[in-house]
Amino acid sequence: MRTSILTPLALLFLTPLTHAYTGDLTYYDPGMGSCGIQSGPNDHIVALSREIMQNGANPNANPKCGSMIGIWNPNTKTKHQAKIVDTCVGCKAHDIDVSPALFKEIAP
């Protein structure tokens, strides 16, 4: 299940990524992600778009896997961190999918 909020969020990629983006936030039921990392609904994890992930032949070897990003909600003025574990095939370039627990924290 994917649900979106209407307010754009700023994504601040932490080391080794150094870009900032604005996009929509959705949530999904995590499991085994494209990075080969098993995650659950209470983990602080994120799936990025195909455009940002740019997976090669073996997405488990993607250097973005396991990196942390910061997610800024301008409405609540709160920042949250999440680990990159998956690719969101239905996301637009700068949208992200997060776990249900993280979604509730970011967009209460």
Which pLDDT tens digit goes with each residue over 61-89? Answer: 999 999 999 898 888 888 999 999 999 99
Confidence of residue 10 (pLDDT cuts 50, 70, 90): low
Report how far residue 17's alpha carbon sits from residue 75's, in angstroms, rounded to the nearest whole number. 24
51 phi/psi in degrees, rounded to 5? -65, -40
Exposure on the CB side of residue 31, measured as CA atoms within 13 A: 2
Q: Tell me how far the alpha carbon of residue 99 is from its chain's centroid.
A: 9
Q: Which two tokens stand for residue 38?
A: 């098993």
- Residue 74: the pLDDT is 86
| Amino acid at the residue 78 | T
Give yes or no for residue 27 having a pLDDT over 70: yes
Strand 9-13 to 20-23 pairing: antiparallel
Give yes or no for residue 6 having a pLDDT over 80: no
Stretch 16-31: mean pLDDT, rounded? 83
- Residue 2: the pLDDT is 47
Give yes or no for residue 17 having a pLDDT over 60: no
The pTM (predicted TM-score) of the whole model is: 0.84
- Residue 19: the pLDDT is 74
